[in-house]
Amino acid sequence: MALRNSDTRYHASVIAAHWLMLALLAAVYACMELRGLAPRGSDLRVGLKALHFLLGLSVLVLVMARLALRWHAGPTPSVQPPVPAWQEKLAQLMHLVLYVFMVATPILGWLALSAEGKPIILFGMDVPSLVGPDKALSERLKEIHESLASVGYFLIGLHALAALVHHYIVRDTTLLRMLPGSKLASDRRSRRA
């Protein structure tokens, strides 16, 4: 079976990677928010920080896999009825910005931890530092990482809102193309032919 998008739907692996990314991002943000509730120096806070880093690296790995899947799965399925060209361009720009966010944010976090000069342990193994110890650089990178993470709330929310608007107000197939298990009428017709 070829790993290809149909004319109207994403391939199951592309859909699974999309929703897995959402779950990972939700877990990354949950660790970040919950860490602030734990007392400084507590085992819980240290554990949440380590889990945040693990999940952040998982986001980086998954986004690379998603880019490979996206390339291999072929053209983006069409939306029915077709959207205006300006909306298609805006959607492409939004996806590009989301991918930049999903790559840059974990790398910035890794760089910030590296610049702290402390060992980074993951599953009992040392993770290589990307830069040498530099307290000032660590602080700057941490600020950028946190600012980008805050922007992420907006980006993810806007992406979800756009999908819901297309589904419930515009009533096109934008969301249906990415829902697991959903069958589009055009898919059923093409299988019968």
For 32-55, what is each residue's pLDDT tens digit? 999 989 999 999 999 999 999 999
pLDDT band at 93 (very low <50, low <70, confident <90, very high): very high
Alpha-carbon distances of 24 from 11, 30, 83, 110, 187, rounded to whole Å: 20, 10, 30, 17, 30
Average pLDDT, the chain: 91
146, two tokens: 């946190």
Q: What is the pLDDT of residue 149?
A: 97
* pTM assigned to the model: 0.89
Q: What is the pLDDT of residue 162?
A: 97
Beta bridge partners of 126: 121
> Across residues 99-122, what is the average pLDDT?
93
- CATH number at 12-187: 1.20.950
Q: For 133-175, how does the pLDDT look when each residue is reduced to its tens digit (9 = 90+)?
A: 999 999 999 999 999 999 999 999 999 999 999 999 999 999 9
Q: Check if the beta carbon of residue 60 is closer than 8 Å to that of residue 103.
A: yes
Q: For 67-79, how does the pLDDT look when each residue is reduced to its tens digit (9 = 90+)?
A: 999 999 999 999 9
Q: Distance (Å, rounded) from C-alpha 25 to C-alpha 59?
A: 7
